[in-house]
Structure 1
Amino acid sequence: MQSTLSARWAAIRPRIIDRAFAAGWSVLPRVPERVAGAAFDAVGTVSAMWPGAYAQLRANLREVVGPSYSAKQLDALTRRSVRSYTRYWREVFQLPGMDPADVGRRTEYLGGEHVDRAMHGGRGVVIALTHSGNWDAAAVQLCQVRGYAMTSVAERLKPESLYERFKRFRESLGMTVVPLTGGPEPSVVALKRALNEGQQVTLLADRDLQANGIPVQLCGRRTTMPTGPGLMALQTGSALLPLELGYTETGWRMRFHPEIEMPTDGRLRERVTHGMTALAEIFTDVIRRNPQDWHMLQKIWPDV
């Protein structure tokens, strides 16, 4: 009986999720931001109290803040992080109804000279970022407010209709979206072409999905990070720019760090390792500065 119920739930769960996202994009853009914000804050506060619901997030945050945090302090930080995470999802649903100019005005935009320097020189830009803040709001700033051409990758979600919804959503923000798998060409080919054309490409780099990347120290503990950002920067001559994302009380914060200088000599993997090691050091500082806005709910350290 239990196995039958589990099988039925597994069969209908993707359709339920798809319909929930469809309802979110249909309804929430018409709800006042303050009202929706209060509702999602409440959801975050309540869900953070479910026993074990965010155990991995809490364990990850412990590695970020270290042993100096008491259990009570860590619980409070986890609640803030969950509320930040629910804020992200509320904004995903509401961004299509927001005025891009207003999003631009409410965004603290720092370090833009690093982007301009590369792009005015005809180079592409590999934007490397952590799972922090709201990347989609940052895309509004870069694509719609500042007019940059950008290509991003989307995971092939199930059902296909959900993938298409996310693709349309991100394209509405100004991005070109290519599927991670199952596209007319490998995603890496599309990304390299965009960089060679002087565009921006965005890559999340704080979690190594394949667990076969470059060994680094992140927040003082050994893990691996994907090779993609460093490898693409080297292969296309693009600038590798870390982007720090976070929230302000009424908007968003973006800070581009200076370009990571990639070695010109040595074996390719050694050069990639140099770049990713430097990126991990910057990510460590970024995550530790605003741990509540780091939405890492998955395992990233092998022994945590």
Structure 2
Amino acid sequence: RLPPRNREVRRVARRAFQNYGCMLADFALIASLKPEELQSHVSVHGLQHLDALRTADLGGILAVPHMASWDMGASIAGVLGYNLTAVVDRFPGSLNEAVIEKRRGFGLTVIPLGAMAARQVAAGLRGGGLVALACDLPQGPGVEVNFFARRATVPTGPASLALRTGAALLTAYTRWNSPGHYHVHVDPPISLPLTGDRRRDIAALMQAVVDRFELYITARPSEWFAFRPLFR
């Protein structure tokens, strides 16, 4: 593990903040794009996994990290005809409604994070629907996992929801291709033997999720926006 003052660590950290600024600019860009224009800005790999769920009338939970522009990734799903529900953080003041309206403009169902989200999320899985949950950073009660050889606490939501509803649990992430252009990668559903012990199964599923996140982040460390304490 490199120390915080290592030159490469500092370079990646600076680049991450620069990339975050680019992501915010591209969020404004989304609102100006027509659906057909959005498709020219975003490429996707792994749609066959989502199509298989839809064919089987099975809901899917997309566990995602805070990488690149997750809004671009979510918006392309709506444009391509997938029924996607996204659970999102609230923005301060009147900005929150403006952001939500932009996200809904591409056919997304947007649920602000909060006490009432669970029931709405379960409804979003019906009929082969998809639910996207960012789960790489601490957010309320969680489960301890091994993340980059450190102990970290991540939300249990994706695993808990999968066990409760029988929906498939997948992972996905978004990365930059070039300025204003992105690529979305969707991996196949996680398949693990379950023990029947709910707490143990949740821990195992979330460990499998962050194991995949490690691969994504290692390949693109400056596109991971982990701007809050995570590791113990």
Q: Is the pair's TM-score, using the shorter chain for normalization, greater than 0.5?
A: yes
**Structure 1 CA distance, aligned partners of 2:78 and 2:218?**
28
**Higher helix proportion:** 1
**Structure 1 CA distance, aligned partners of 2:83 and 2:173?**
20
What amino acid is aligned across from residue 191 of structure 2 in structure 1?
E
**Structure 2 CA distance, aligned partners of 1:164 and 1:108?**
28
**Structure 1 CA distance, aligned partners of 2:92 and 2:173?**
30
- Deviations along 1:199-234, one digit per CA (max 9) or x if unpaired, are 111100101212x31111111111111110011111
| Aligned pairs, number | 231
Match of 1:50 in 2: none
**Higher strand proportion:** 2
Kindly indicate whether residue 59 of structure 2 is the aligned counterpart of residue 129 of structure 1: no
- Deviations along 1:72-97, one digit per CA (max 9) or x if unpaired, are 22232222212211111001111110
Match of 2:87 in 1: 153
**Structure 2 CA distance, aligned partners of 1:166 and 1:252?**
20
**Structure 2 CA distance, aligned partners of 1:68 and 1:179?**
37
**Structure 2 CA distance, aligned partners of 1:285 and 1:154?**
24
- Is 260-269 or 224-233 further displaced after alignment? 260-269
Q: Residue 221 of structure 1 is aligned with which of 122, 138, 150?
A: 150
**Structure 1 CA distance, aligned partners of 2:33 and 2:125?**
29
Q: Is the 8 A contact 2:59 2:126 kept in 1?
A: yes
Alpha-carbon spacing, 1:188–1:149, altered in 2? closer, same or farther (3 Å) = same
Q: Is the 8 A contact 2:2 2:9 kept in 1?
A: no
Match of 2:226 in 1: 296
Matches within 5 A, 1:11-90: 66-67=1-2, 71-90=6-25
Match of 2:76 in 1: 141
TM-score (norm 1): 0.71
Kindly indicate whether residue 94 of structure 2 is the aligned counterpart of residue 94 of structure 1: no
Q: Residue 178 of structure 2 is aligned with which of 224, 229, 249?
A: 249
Q: Residue 193 of structure 1 is aligned with which of 88, 109, 123?
A: 123
**Structure 1 CA distance, aligned partners of 2:192 and 2:53?**
14
- Deviations along 1:264-294, one digit per CA (max 9) or x if unpaired, are 4421111111111111111111111100100
The answer for unaligned runs of 5 or more in structure 2 is: none
Kindly indicate whether residue 199 of structure 2 is the aligned counterpart of residue 269 of structure 1: yes
What amino acid is aligned across from residue 110 of structure 2 in structure 1?
V
Larger Rg: 1
- Deviations along 1:137-190, one digit per CA (max 9) or x if unpaired, are 11221101x11111122334332x2221121111112211123237xxx21001
What amino acid is aligned across from residue 267 of structure 1 in structure 2?
D
**Structure 2 CA distance, aligned partners of 1:214 and 1:175?**
28
How big is the alpha-carbon RMSD for the aligned residues of Structure 1 and Structure 2?
1.8
TM-score (norm 2): 0.92
The answer for unaligned runs of 5 or more in structure 1 is: 1-65
Of all paired residues, the percent bearing the same amino acid is 26
Q: Is the 8 A contact 2:23 2:69 kept in 1?
A: yes
Q: Is the 8 A contact 1:124 1:199 kept in 2?
A: yes
Secondary structure of residue in 2 paired with 1:222: strand
